[in-house]
Amino acid sequence: MNAHDLLALLLDPGTFRSWDAGLVDVRPDPGYAAGLAEARRKTGLDESVVTGEGLLGGRRVAVAASEFGFLGGSVGLAAAERLTRAVERATAERLPVICLPASGGTRMQEGTVAFVQMVKITAAVAAHKSAHLPYLVYLRHPTTGGVFASWGSLGHLTLAEPGALIGFLGPRACQALSGSRLPEGTQRAENLHAHGLIDALIAPGELAAFLDRVLTAITAEPRRAPRPDPATTAAGPAWEAVLRTRRAGRPGAADLIRLAATDVTSLHQAGLILALARIGGYPCVLIAQDRHGPPPGPAALRQARRGARLAAGLRLPLVSVIDTPGAELSARAEEDGLASEIAGCLADLTTLPVPTVSLLLGQGAGGAALALLPADRVLAAEHAWLAPLAPEGASAIVYRDTGHAPELAARQGIRSADLAADGIVDQVIPETPADPGRFCRDLGHALHRALEDLAHQGDDTRLAGRLRRYRRLGMSPHRRPLPALPQPGSRPCRRSPYG
């Protein structure tokens, strides 16, 4: 499919308008000039990139598509300048950019000056994203070289054509330089999707509908949140709460999203749900642990951090849902950096510049649960709980058996009511076990109210409040205070080697 056919398939009929003007003079040598002339005759285009604007679902968007028939979609000085100008114009006019590369990379006939153009294109894309404007990429067959290593890999979302060849260096160049072939399938879109480098595999005919859902999901249409009558929760024994969250019929995160969110666009799953959605009309990024999924490992936590970056890049609230019996326990998880990914999640979520809401839905065992907890508003279902370890693990540490789990669960203050008393949770939502659908909808209303409340706060005020919250956590009056820090001048202080 050539560039214009793909744009006709993507955009509303008759709405494409070209932005392509005159070309930069690259002063080609005679042989290269002949190649350019032949490419222009064959494709009817003057360069390997087509740029412009059109409507997608009635929404104005900027587009840039490679034409592989024009010297393999390669990018030289003229194509790079055209692409850069298009991104800069989209930024100035506050338009989403949809890029559709299909290229062998840098145009070898123009040498190093063409190669360095990737820096210019990347800078324009980075400025566009810094303006918190969507940059969406659809990798077509084939996309390799400098194009893949620059503007093809910078998308807020990265989609790909099924079966497409996608890689840093094309197979022919790779074999010529290394003397060997990569394993079959390494550079196929399906393999990159399996490794989390691509968010979704989308056939060209389905691309318009998918991108329309994405752009709809990140567009605000807030509604007034319902304000329910005050409800009470009965704080039963902690061990009973633990057992309730482990029951087979209890709703999980996927059930909650299905019943409480709209316009959901699911992205690549790596042991954790990542999606764009709207809750009460408020667009957000969702990261969620699902009780029916595998224990979260390093890949799942990297996915959570990717969701946080996506929320920050698009200036969308982040909603995290916690429901896990504990992290993945394996040699692979240790070697892949489980602990450092937990630490990274905590750092990201405490400093994220956008509104954040976390929901403790069910089990909250260990560092994998804590990794998704920090937020401006923390909600908890009535029987949800949070503990340093599953109670059986805590019992094994303290008593060298698991029989004291109920006792430790009670002593550790893990219930939602205890968490609220300690300032860890802001609101406890009553559960209706006989009606799982109502339970999910009640949680959805609570998330809606939290997003609505946070929408009216300034960024600096909100972030300062979040940091203050966790700085003061555990310092409530009923706890014994720590010794006061020495005041300046009260005793000699050894000089720091750092001044």
φ, ψ of residue 443 to 5 degrees: the values are: -65, -40
Determine the length of the chain. Answer: 499
Q: How far is CA 37 from CA 26, 31, 107, in A?
A: 13, 10, 15
- pTM of the predicted model, to two decimals? 0.89
User: In the prediction, which pLDDT does 131 show?
Assistant: 96
φ, ψ of residue 224 to 5 degrees: the values are: -70, 130
Fold of 3-24+32-217: 2-enoyl-CoA Hydratase; Chain A, domain 1 (3.90.226)
What would the two tokens of residue 490 be?
């009260």
Q: Provide the CATH number for the domain formed by 238-472 in this structure.
A: 3.90.226.10
User: In the prediction, which pLDDT does 233 show?
Assistant: 65
Q: How far is CA 146 from CA 41, 169, 486, in A?
A: 26, 9, 57
For CATH 3.90.226.10, the residue range(s) in the chain are 3-24+32-217, 238-472
User: In the prediction, which pLDDT does 34 show?
Assistant: 95
Instruction: Answer yes or no: are the C-beta atoms of 333 and 297 closer than 8 Å.
Output: yes
Q: How far is CA 50 from CA 53, 145, 197, 387, 417, in A?
A: 10, 19, 26, 55, 59
As a whole number of angstroms, the distance between CA 81 and CA 496 comes to: 52
As a whole number of angstroms, the distance between CA 425 and CA 377 comes to: 8
Q: Which residues pair with 137 in a beta bridge?
A: 99, 158
Helical (H) or strand (E) element with 215: helix 204-217
User: Over the Cα atoms of the chain, what is R_g?
Assistant: 27
User: In the prediction, which pLDDT does 231 show?
Assistant: 62
Mean pLDDT by 10 residues, the chain (499 residues): 96 97 86 95 96 97 97 96 97 98 94 94 97 97 94 97 91 76 88 93 97 93 75 78 93 96 91 95 96 92 96 97 95 95 97 97 96 98 96 92 91 94 94 89 96 92 94 70 48 47
Residue reference for tokens 């060298």: 400
